[in-house]
Amino acid sequence: MATIKTKYLGNLRTEIEHVQSGQKIITDAPLDNHGKGEFISPTDIFTAAYTSCVFTIMGIAAGTHGFSVDGMSAETTKVMAENPRRVAKIQVSIKMPPNNYSEKERRIIEAVPRQCPVANSLQADIEKEVTFVW
């Protein structure tokens, strides 16, 4: 169980604190929703959490099967919808580090985006598009 404290700072800005570590994140409403866009938005964190979760589970799977995914990186894009305003699509392009992955290792890696806890917590109508750059 994790506890998060959130404080409203005014002007559509919040401070989020992860109690266990003391780490803090400031959020701001995006420009297209009355904000200043000076900090990451809550929906940006939401989509970034998906990619971070995928990476974490990929790291666990790789370690379990005796290979490494160290050095991978990704670009995550969120697509918003209206009425109601929501995240409609998460697009992730994962760049894998240079490694001679076997066919089995590639299958393990490519299966992970459907298995991470964040993916399993998302509404079914949120489209998740993940591509790998080998």
Going from N- to C-terminal start, the domains of the chain cover: 41-133
pTM recorded for the entire structure:
0.91
When pLDDT is cut at 50, 70 and 90, the band that residue 121 belongs to is very high
Total residue count of the chain as it appears in this document: 134
CATH of range 41-133; options 3.30.300.20, 3.60.21.10, 3.30.565.10, 1.10.357.10? 3.30.300.20
Q: What is the arithmetic mean of pLDDT over 81-100?
A: 96
List all residues 6 or more positions away from 73 whose beta carbon is below 8 Å from its beta carbon.
94, 95
